[in-house]
Amino acid sequence: MILRPRLEDVKIIGYYLGKIILGLALTMVIPVITGLAFKEINPTFDFLIGLEAALISGLLLTKVCYTQKNLNWMQGMIVVSLSWLAAMILGAIPLYLSGHWKSYLDACFEAMSGFATTGLALVQDLDHLSFAHNLWRHLIMFIGGQGIVIVALSLFVKGASGAFKLYVGEARDERVLPNVISTSRFIWLVSIVYLVLGTLALGITGMLSGMKPVNAFFHGACIFMAAFDTGGFAPQSQNILYYHSFQLELITIVIMILGAINFKLHYHLWAGNRKEIFKNIETTTLFVTIMVTFCITAVGLTQAGSYPQALTLFRKGFYQLISGHTGTGYQTIYPQQFINEWNHLSLVGIICAMALGGAVCSTTGAIKMLRIGIIYKALKEDLKRIILPDKAFIVEKFHHIKTVFLEDKVARSALLIALCYFILYWLGALVGMYFGHPFLNALFESTSAAANVGLSCGITGTGMPAALKITYIIQMWAGRLEFMSIFTLIGFLVAAIKGK
């Protein structure tokens, strides 16, 4: 028998959801200040309206649903899944008011793409977008990469009770420090330190390329936020191709890789344990999969004769590959070039890279390297069971910060999440094919959306059907949260309808 949710459950969910919305409202102060600094009156009012809507929503929820009770696992998962939808709806308000999005659905698509660090865009006339709105597009990537719930844990939550439920619901199950709130604050510390260093490096590079100092450092900050949080937005419509700078491309490759690394690994590197990077199952698996997928891509591009020179192959081939594998979505080619210059084999290589992703507890989406490594270890263990005598005692282990013995439940969990991703990739591809796109193109765009990458072969655009836009929004949402919190929300809604 399915039990109907109690009113108390709804109040607890509403209260904590309100807290998170208040955290989101505070972040809108930054584009308001930016608008005032650049004397952008209308954009400033756009964000004041968005800020007011978020404050009213958050305060209303916290007052109406006020409670002192802590979250349980179900409630925590539901709060997380709803908070990302609320962030999309509220974060889209100032975007839509700017007039650079044809519809509110397009603005919601952009907002979800930003928060989910995907990078697929529906903005029009990006090259003339205000500083405030452009900063907001990249700031929501910075927020989404660390985690919307991380904002609330860092700002509002005073005790650790209930915090871990929110933390896990946002597809993070590793604590860098013993306390979840301390972990959240460390994640922000790492991100802000890198933000300063990355902005300086990119800003100086921009100035050396001839950009004015203000523009150079504004672009540098925006590019860093999207690169480190493995998004794909850029201040200009040509993306990274706009800059025509080999030095900038090299810097963004380093930033993308940093963003794809586990925050726990960042902690150990900061603590001086640099040997961990060579022993960790995630970094070794990432290196192997990058080499394998690049070999596939390079062979395909060589067959097609697209980029005969080594430097061009690096800048046009490897850059797209590493951008896809880290889930960033930065491009040094136009979307149509994937169709016109890349053959099927090279597209398969980059689709595989996008599908695999980076590390767990990082800013990336997709299946992730720890799960790929665990699946490989489980397969290796099963092969040993078949080959070796029945009496042989077989133990498989792997190194992830510490040595861990492989258990069946860990392998089963990795396989289930990987299967969910593959199903999500294929479902999106089927929808794309339904609307007339070739299979490989549809799979490319679907994988990019579901794995939170942002590379596009030209399907994503304002003219695509509303149903396809909604499909990609759902894929970005589900892919970023890794399913469990969304499955919990669906179960909660079913129980509310059919429960007794």
Digit-coded pLDDT (tens) for 350-373? 999 999 998 887 778 889 998 999
More confident residue, 322 or 394: 322
Can you give the pLDDT at residue 155?
Answer: 54
Residue 101 in tokens: 């999005």
pLDDT mean across residues, the chain: 88
Residues in the chain: 500
Mean pLDDT of 306-316: 91
Residue 222's nearest CA partner among 247, 239, 245, 210 is 239
Residue with token string 């977008």: 129
More confident residue, 167 or 127: 127
Q: Report yes or no: 359 and 261 within 8 Å, Cβ to Cβ.
A: yes
What is the three-state SS of 419-474? HHHHHHHHHHHHHHHHCCCCHHHHHHHHHHHHCCCCCCCCCCCCCCCHHHHHHHHH
Residue 182's nearest CA partner among 80, 262, 267, 257 is 267
More confident residue, 369 or 191: 369
Q: CA–CA separation, 273 vs 194, rounded Å?
A: 19
Q: CA–CA separation, 411 vs 89, rounded Å?
A: 37
Residue with token string 């084999």: 345
Q: Say whether pLDDT at 477 is over 80.
A: yes
Q: Report yes or no: 477 and 451 within 8 Å, Cβ to Cβ.
A: no
The kind and range of the H/E element at 347 are helix 344-356
pLDDT, one tens digit per residue, over 24-73 is 899 999 999 999 999 999 999 999 999 999 999 999 999 998 888 877 77
Residue 482's nearest CA partner among 427, 438, 441, 424 is 424
pTM of the model: 0.92
Can you give the pLDDT at residue 160?
Answer: 46
Residue with token string 């997928």: 293
Can you give the pLDDT at residue 205?
Answer: 94
Q: Report yes or no: 274 and 266 within 8 Å, Cβ to Cβ.
A: no
Can you give the pLDDT at residue 1?
Answer: 52
More confident residue, 497 or 467: 467
Can you give the pLDDT at residue 159?
Answer: 47
Q: Report yes or no: 439 and 433 within 8 Å, Cβ to Cβ.
A: yes
Can you give the pLDDT at residue 403?
Answer: 80
